Structure 1
């Protein structure tokens, strides 16, 4: 469902209540960009030089599992090995951005579409990964739909090591430099979904996948 029109009407009403024009003026956009460029960053923890190793450490602490491959072409075999080792189905849905990879040759049947209720495995890329927290940053789009990370019980993310950044500040800066603005849905995935709302008992898979597995790609 496209909610852009409803969102724009809401923003227009807010701006009207502030006695501002319904559409964002160019001067307002420039002022916001200037503020972001010159506003000093807050204090940040020191991180080791090896951001990838730190990301792995933090991600595993969140119950994310990790595999590492030398090249993007090796990712399908790594995904198949993970699924078979855990006796999970090798039928999956995936982002269309991954359609050029040889999934059939690795023994996986992959459809490049949004998930249905019966799809158990979702395979995606990610916008970037955050070493400080072990989280994955997702930016939604026509070929990078957020539902692939939320609906299937198992989420497998393919992450180039070149897209591992130090902190969340760096992740947002990367969005601004590469895309200009945040996507309609910006999600940070920090391990499997979990809740302890009922009797303080930890339950996985409450609001999303039971499993998150990351394939780190060295040559990408």
Structure 2
């Protein structure tokens, strides 16, 4: 190292109050990041973030109401054609809706994909989607309309709370973890915000108790 470089670094260390070759202490990030905020209403925080990201939410009292809610969504948006639903939701009473259902991933001809989220992050309004046999990843990205079933009890305050849950011995390791924050959008063309550029144009959450 040249003498001039040594002199510059010595002046920097002196200004920072450090000795030569001193070890930098790790940042006390655990003291700065709140891993749990009991006083925060997770639902209201989550709802506020969804309004920013453009995601809609519908509350259901029971998960068995999901098929009827999906059928109503199709009617309201005049959507026709087969639906792709996650195998995790296949046991719900879909036969009562009269909808054409394909269980499994989508192959591009399904206008709607219905999947189940592992968790929701209140701080960011993000949905945590685990890619596995019960929830194929294609459901999250190929259909124009992405309907997501989320349990209210699976709302988390911060992203940091997610990782210990995934490392639990009772939880199978997923093929991938996808964080979805709003529908697909871009403003690259003419500076105008367009939805559905490279994924679903709409994301609708079915929140169950």
Scaled by the length of structure 1, what TM-score is found? 0.75
Contact 1:48 1:54 (C-alpha < 8 Å) held by counterparts: no
Stretches of 4+ aligned residues off by more than 4 angstroms: 44-48, 178-182
Contact 1:90 1:107 (C-alpha < 8 Å) held by counterparts: no
Query: Judging changes above 3 Å, is the alpha-carbon distance between structure 1 residues 182 and 204 closer, same or farther for their aligned structure 2 residues?
Result: farther
Deviations 1:96-116 (A, max 9, x none): 110110112123221112111
* Structure 1 counterpart of 2:33: 43
Gaps of 5+ in 1: 1-38
Gaps of 5+ in 2: 1-28
Give the one of 82, 99, 112 matched to 2:90: 99
2:43 pairs with 1:59: no
Matches within 5 A, 1:170-181: 170-177=161-168
Count of paired positions:
181
Query: Judging changes above 3 Å, is the alpha-carbon distance between structure 1 residues 56 and 50 closer, same or farther for their aligned structure 2 residues?
Result: same
Distance 1:104 1:207 in 2: 32
RMSD of Structure 2 on Structure 1 (CA): 2.3
Contact 1:192 1:209 (C-alpha < 8 Å) held by counterparts: yes
Give the one of 170, 192, 203 matched to 1:201: 192
Distance 2:146 2:39 in 1: 28
Distance 2:197 2:167 in 1: 32
* Structure 2 counterpart of 1:135: 126
Shift of 1:118: 1.4
Contact 2:81 2:111 (C-alpha < 8 Å) held by counterparts: no
Distance 1:181 1:104 in 2: 30
* Structure 1 counterpart of 2:75: 84
Distance 1:115 1:210 in 2: 16
Distance 1:126 1:201 in 2: 30
Shift of 1:119: 1.4
